[in-house]
Amino acid sequence: MKHSIRALMGACAVSALATAALAETTITVATVNNGDMIRMQSMMEDFYAQHPDIKVEWVTLEENVLRQRVTQDVATNGGQFDVMTIGNYEVPIWGARGWLMPLTDLPADYKVDDLLPSIRSALSVDGSLYALPFYGESAMVMYRTDLAEQAGVSLPDQPTWAQIKEAAAKMTDKDAGIYGICLRGKPGWGENMAFISAMANSYGARWFDMSWEPEFDSAPWQAAFKDYLDLMTNYGPPGASSNGFNENLSLFQQGKCGMWIDATVAAGFVTDPEESSVAENVGYAVFPNKDGVDNHGNWLWSWNLGIPKSTDAPEAAEAFVTWATGPHYTQLVAEKQGWRAAPPGTRKSLYENATYLAEAPFATLTKETMDAATPEKPSVQDVPYVGAQFVSIPEFQGIGTAVGQQFSAALAGQMDADTALKNAQMLTQREMTKAGYIK
Amino acid sequence: MARAATTQRKAIVTVAAWIVGIAIFFPILWIVILSFKSEGDAIRTPLEVLRAQWTLESYTTVQERSNYLRHFWNSVVLSVGSTLIGLIIAVPAAWAMAFVPGKRTKDVLMWMLSTKMLPPVGVLVPIYLIFRDLGLLDSRVGLVIVLTLINLPIIIWMLYTYFREIPGEILEAARMDGATLRDEILYVLTPMAVPGIASTLLLNIILAWNEAFWTLNLTAAKAAPLTAFIASYSSPEGLFYAKLSAASTMAIAPILIMGWFSQKQLVRGLTFGAVK
């Protein structure tokens, strides 16, 4: 009897030790629903092979819902997420407020110096990285080479807005349902205002002067916005005031747009023969500029993985973010799904890889546009803020969307350009005064 | 002559009802149609969509990517759990208001209804902080409490209106026969009110099933119901219509089937009860 009690106790001790050894850490990752992020979820076997003691729970959300959820959680120290997918708009603001963990001692095989300088600087506060980039993008012109040829248009690699207008006029054939140009019109700081802000930058305009006074009443803003309305009214598709990225993507894929100026990530979609009817006939050019203004207004956006201070598993979270954004992951995707599927826009080495350059015809231009993006100096004039297609201050989400609504209403014909600009100036000034920027 | 006019009127009303019915149901039908098309076809013009080949690929993708059963089970627990707890609280409350009304009963009823007029986002941050401190974030217990509280006014109102139709003399007779308060509610009132309680139960399960504000804001991975499952298939960059439609169809199918089988009770509850 004594022996059996001893044996039983021994077995209990062994099983307790075994349970402790097998105890796994579960991390919750909040992420956005897009192709690259979904692909990552299918690559998890590799991560589990390297880290059998870490389990990852995914929370995939639509971009706006995700932004609201993670902001609420990080600001209240909620601790629901161990890793958050955030944009380069949030990273510097959250990093400066101490909401994110600094990522200072990254392992040598992470090759931090391989990150594209523009992206690295956009994710740093006082020289320290606060999130690691998963993929990055800029903006460029995508156009139908077949339509351009038919219309006798030859678009240079670095077109001006005058050349874009001329090409749009020639390519438009409304009877055949073809519109020369498709641009964003749906209101929102990340929708029409991303495009219009970048366009204004390329006209020499800026959101604020050095004392944070808005500049919608300036000549460059007037010229940029009037040209935008002119392009869209004469050569754009009907109902453009409700078109965002997806609506324009589907119009372009169905062959209804001559040109589309939007995020570089779109190039992968419009050249996918399974989804796009024009996959074989797409040409690319740099984001246009106004004659005489040495600024292509390139925007810079990246989706990044950050670790909130509220996490209770910082080591496991860091192991995950370094795996997901490291060079090994790029290699893994290339082996399993081909180089074309590798997450773009974060590492220099990807653009030195001959196989990638051969498989992704838009790669070189993506790299060039990203290199040319200067979020620290988005306009030819001096600015007091950082950000190319946005202004990196917490108030921008609200202001950007309110201004976007005015501009979208002007595109829908509910008011003229001057009224929209006047309203934008008034409401921005009011909000900036309330927030204490304007003394 | 009068007969012909009545028939004509009936025909007009029938046609109008069908038009309204189809208009309301059409978006759901279109979602179901899109869910059986490929992503490339789902963005075409309506006629091209109808002509395009039917496929199950979106359902396969959704099955591979998400744990549907876990979300489904969470939805069942949250909607049934919150409705049952709500009924346990609401039956005695509605009894008191219907059969033993006080001076302030009407005011209390109006006050309860007024809580539904507050935009939920107004109390999001305080509730989030309370949940954080009590460790209730991303838990089914926490969400059952919230859903019970937000649907309680509707449950009480529906039951109150229903109980008012029951003659008080029957309860009085039971009391004279020596029934205690508990016996009176359990063995006399409840059996008579079963149709009303059933329709209240069904309507509140549907309301809790469709609730998307609190279920999205207070959950992450463990307690997320089907509303979070749908939200994970929407995207501002990239094609997603077919997959989103498949996810939506899978999320609404259980409640649609339940509604189909219990439509008699639902209609009876809606016409006899609160919104009479």
Q: What is the predicted pLDDT for the residue at A22?
A: 46
User: Which chain A residue has the Cα nearest residue B220?
Assistant: A59
User: Are B65 and A38 a contacting pair at CB < 8 A?
Assistant: yes
CB nearest to A33's CB, from B39, B217, B234? B234
- Six-digit token string for A437: 């920027």
The Cα A68–Cα A61 span in angstroms is 10
Q: What is the DSSP letter of A157?
A: S
What is the average per-residue pLDDT within A63-77? 88
Q: Distance between CA atoms of B267 and B202, rounded to whole angstroms?
A: 11
b vs e for A69-83, b when ≥16 Cβ sit within 10 Å of the residue's Cβ?
Answer: bbbebbebebbbbbb
Helix/strand/coil (H/E/C) assignment for every residue in B163-191: HCCCCHHHHHHHHHCCCCHHHHHHHHHHH
* Residue A281 in this model has a pLDDT that exceeds 90: yes
Residue type, position A8, single letter:
L
Lowest mean pLDDT among A10-19, A101-110, A231-240, B40-49: A10-19
**Closest-CA distance of chain A to residue B2, Å:** 50
pLDDT in tens, A237-259: 999 998 988 889 889 998 999 99
Degrees, nearest 5: CA angle A241-A244-A249: 120
User: Do A34 and B239 make contact, defined as CB atoms within 8 angstroms?
Assistant: no
Task: Indicate yes or no: CB of B237 within 8 angstroms of CB of A265.
Answer: yes
Do the Cβ atoms of A407 and A183 come closer than 8 Å?
no
CA distances (Å), origin B75, targets B61, B149, B158, B206, B243: 21, 17, 23, 10, 20
Predicted local distance difference test score (pLDDT) of residue A6: 60
Task: Look at strands A257-263 and A179-182 and give their pairing.
Answer: parallel
- Tell me if A59 sits within 8 A of B223, measured CB to CB: no
The alpha-helical segments, DSSP class H, found in A254-326 are 266-270, 314-325
A50 — contact with chain B (CB < 8 Å)? no
How far is the C-alpha of A248 from the C-alpha of A242, rounded, in Å?
A: 10
A273 contacts: CB under 8 Å, gap ≥ 6: A279, A280
Tell whether the model's pLDDT for residue A160 goes beyond 70.
yes
Edge-first strand order for the sheet with A179-182 is A179-182, A257-263, A139-144, A282-286
| Torsion angle of the four alpha carbons A84, A88, A93, A95, in this order, in degrees rounded to the nearest 10 | 60
A249–B228 CB contact, under 8 Å: no
DSSP H stretches of helix in A188-340: 192-202, 219-235, 245-253, 266-270, 314-325, 327-337
- Which of A32, A254, A265 is facing B44, going by the closest CB pair? A254
Per-residue confidence at A17, pLDDT binned at 50, 70, 90? very low
d(CA A37, CA A161): 34
Cα separation, B150 vs B214, whole angstroms: 10
Chain B nearest CA to A273, separation (Å): 10
Contacts B222 to A, Cβ<8 Å: 57
Report the pLDDT value the prediction gives residue A340, as an integer from 0 to 100.
80
Query: What pLDDT is attached to residue A19?
Result: 45
Q: Do A59 and B221 touch (CB under 8 A)?
A: yes
Cα–Cα distance for residue pair B233/B246, rounded to 1 Å: 9
> In this structure, what DSSP letter does residue A111 have?
-
**To which H or E segment does residue A179 belong?**
strand A179-182
Residue B2: predicted pLDDT: 60
Q: Which three-class secondary structure state does DSSP give residue A159?
A: coil
Which amino acid does the sequence have at A22? L
pLDDT band at residue A276 under the 50/70/90 scheme: confident
Query: Is residue A21 predicted with pLDDT exceeding 50?
Result: no
What CA–CA distance (Å, rounded) separates A90 from A67? 9
- Among B68, B233, B235, B241, the residue to mutate for chain A (most A Cβ within 10 A): B235
SS3 of residue A121 by DSSP: helix
Separation of alpha carbons A89 and A87, rounded Å: 5
Distance between CA atoms of A31 and B266, rounded to whole angstroms?
A: 39
- B45-97 residue pLDDT tens: 788 889 889 999 999 989 888 889 999 999 999 999 999 999 999 999 998 99
DSSP of A358-383, one letter per residue? HH-TTHHHHHHHHHH--TTS-SSS--
Strands (E), A19-69: 25-32, 54-61
- CB distance A287 to A296 below 8 Å: yes
Cβ neighbours of residue A349 closer than 8 Å, sequence gap 6 or more: A111, A114, A327, A330
Displacement of CA A330 from its chain's centroid (Å): 19
The residues spanned by each domain of chain B are: 68-272
How many other C-beta atoms lie within 10 A of the C-beta of residue B133?
Answer: 9
The one-digit pLDDT tens for each residue of chain B (276 residues) are 566 778 899 999 999 999 999 999 999 999 999 999 988 788 777 888 898 899 999 999 898 888 899 999 999 999 999 999 999 999 999 989 998 899 999 999 999 989 888 899 899 999 999 999 999 999 999 999 999 999 999 999 999 988 888 888 888 898 888 889 888 888 888 888 888 898 899 999 999 999 999 999 999 889 999 999 998 888 766 668 899 999 999 999 998 898 888 888 777 766 664 444
Nearest partner of B161 among B86, B271, B76, judged by Cα: B271
H-helix segments, A155-218:
161-171, 192-202
**Subunit contact B238:A263, Cβ cutoff 8 A:** no
Report, in angstroms and rounded to the nearest whole number, the Rg of chain A calculated over CA atoms.
24
Beta carbons of B231 and A72 less than 8 Å apart: no
Domains detected in chain A: 23-130+301-359 (3.40.190.10), 139-299+374-434 (3.40.190.10)
Residue A12 pLDDT > 60? no
Q: Do A35 and B238 touch (CB under 8 A)?
A: yes
Residue B162: what pLDDT?
87
Is A189 in CB contact (< 8 Å) with chain B? no
C-alpha span between A206 and A199 (Å, rounded): 10
Across the interface, of B129, B220, B231, the residue whose CB is closest to A80 is B220
- Cβ atoms of B117 and B50 within 8 Å: the answer is no
H-only helix segments in chain B: 2-35, 39-42, 46-51, 57-65, 68-99, 105-114, 124-134, 140-163, 168-176, 181-183, 190-192, 194-210, 213-217, 226-231, 241-261, 263-272
Q: Which CATH architecture has domain B68-272?
A: Orthogonal Bundle (1.10)
Query: Which residues of chain B does A35 touch, with a Cβ-Cβ cutoff of 8 Å?
Result: 238
For B210, other C-beta atoms within 10 Å of its C-beta total 15
Which letter does DSSP use for residue B232 in this model?
Answer: T
Structure tokens given for A424: 């934008």
pLDDT, residue B238, reads: 64
Count of other CB atoms within 10 angstroms of residue A152: 7
What would the mean pLDDT of A382-411 be, rounded to a whole number?
93
Distance CA B168, CA A268 (A): 72
Q: Mean pLDDT for chain A?
A: 90
B216: its two tokens? 């999205």
Q: Residue B137: its chain A contacts at CB < 8 A?
A: 78-80
Q: Do the interacting molecules here have an ipTM over 0.95? A: no
